[in-house]
Amino acid sequence: MSSYHVSMNKDHEKIARLERKLKKMEKELAKKDKIIVRQNNEKAALENPVKRMDYSEEVTVANPFRTPHNQQWFEGLVVATNVPYMSLENRHIKSFNWVYTPKLGLIRSMNHEDGEDLELAKWYIFRAKDDRKNYRSNPKHSQTKTMWAVRTSSHQVTRKWRASEIDSRGRIKIFAFFYLDGSLLNGKKDFYLKDEWLNSVHLPEKMVSEIKESNRNYELKGRLCLRTAIKLSDLFVDKCDEDPSTAIFEVVEITGATLDEMDLI
């Protein structure tokens, strides 16, 4: 083969590599564009005063032993997947997922060997199957908490109530806006934000300090809008087991903040 043909082949290979790289970049950009569109849609909806109140309301999971009606539908977010499961009675179950629903807190979705698993960071609508109903005569089972006794069934994918993705470590990352009176942060080290779908979200001391410093440590006055990235708290299962209404979500990044019409971050 002549040196001319060798050079041509190398050029074609180089072009092919560049085309593959370009397609990969286009795919990544399209994914980011979708996230931005979802966030902008949420922000536009939030600017409606009626919707804004709905966004800031939390649902208190008051009863850790609540028995849901088997015909009632719930909506929830898959926050962790493929948790190991060992049982001599249910050997066909290979693992389970944790699903967070504002009305029940954390509940499980079982992964059967011949079933279709739920996907991390996706929202589903489902019915709740309560195992305690099969053991009503046994007081031991009646004292099992909802998060361990209730399983999801009849799953269907639903709309993303809060934008979410999987980070580089394979963990869920959620994006949400919060509107609140800025003065609520004055004199506070940390703070608990309220959300209709995530319930209580912890705003740690580091983030509160960042907001105050961006305002030159002046007293906060007016409507504060926060654009945040949220992750699961450490030991979220233990926290929910102790108190199902406790905050298991935590702000890890503030990507934008405005106080009235002034940009802080």
Residue pLDDT, tens place only, 205-218: 999 999 999 999 88
And the tokens for 195?
């959300």
Q: Which residues contact 139 (CB under 8 A, 6 or more apart)?
A: none
Q: How much is the pLDDT for 191?
A: 96
- Cα atoms in the Cβ-side hemisphere of radius 13 Å centred on 137: 0
* Rg of the chain (C-alpha set): 23
**What is the pTM (predicted TM-score) of this model?**
0.74
| Spatial CA neighbour of 228 closest among 173, 146, 147 | 173
Q: Distance between CA atoms of 137 and 157, rounded to whole angstroms? A: 36
pLDDT of the chain, 265 residues: tens digit per residue? 556 555 666 677 788 888 888 888 888 888 777 767 766 665 565 445 444 434 445 566 657 777 787 778 889 999 999 998 877 677 778 899 999 998 889 999 999 877 678 999 999 999 888 877 766 555 555 678 889 888 898 888 988 899 999 999 999 999 999 999 999 999 999 999 999 899 999 999 999 999 999 999 889 999 999 999 999 999 999 999 988 888 999 999 999 999 998 889 8
Q: Distance between CA atoms of 67 and 59, rounded to whole angstroms? A: 16
Q: Which pLDDT tens digit goes with each residue over 68-109?
A: 877 788 899 999 999 988 776 777 788 999 999 988 899 999
